[in-house]
Amino acid sequence: MLLKFLYQNEIELTVPLALDLFAVADKYLQAELMSVCEKYLSRNITLENLLTLIDVVEKFGAETLKSSILKFIRNNFQALEENQTYYLLPCTYIWKVASQLRDKLRLQNKP
């Protein structure tokens, strides 16, 4: 798959493949492929893969993916709590979401 992308600049991704290729692209300094994988993963966050994707962010510093994860957490907070995933989230993500919500409320309440 890596060679196909390098020579044809096209690839059909799945979440497992994007995770694998992201790591390979990082190892071989393939920034364009990393970007493609990161954008794909950002569009395909689910309750089931959220913790895995957080691990990717922590390992590789994928800021676009991190922003998408924070948005996903904000938009799906109740579902995260219902399926117990909320309790497994790193505290830094919960604090960041809480901070963003606090700032949003402050802006809404300004005269």
Q: Are the C-beta atoms of residues 89 and 80 closer than 8 Å to each other?
A: yes
Give the mean pLDDT of the chain.
88
Hey, where are the domains in the chain? 2-109
Overall average pLDDT of the 93-111 stretch: 82
Q: What's the pLDDT band for 107 if we cut at 50, 70, 90? A: confident
Q: Which residues of 37-54 are buried (b: 16+ CB within 10 A; e: fewer)?
A: bbebbbeebeeeebeebb
- Structure confidence at residue 2 (pLDDT): 54
In the predicted structure, residue 25 carries a pLDDT above the cut 70: yes
> Is 2-109 a CATH 1.20.272 domain?
no
**CA end-to-end span of the chain, whole Å?**
55
Question: Model-level pTM?
Answer: 0.85
As a whole number of angstroms, the distance between CA 98 and CA 89 comes to 13
In the predicted structure, residue 47 carries a pLDDT above the cut 70: yes
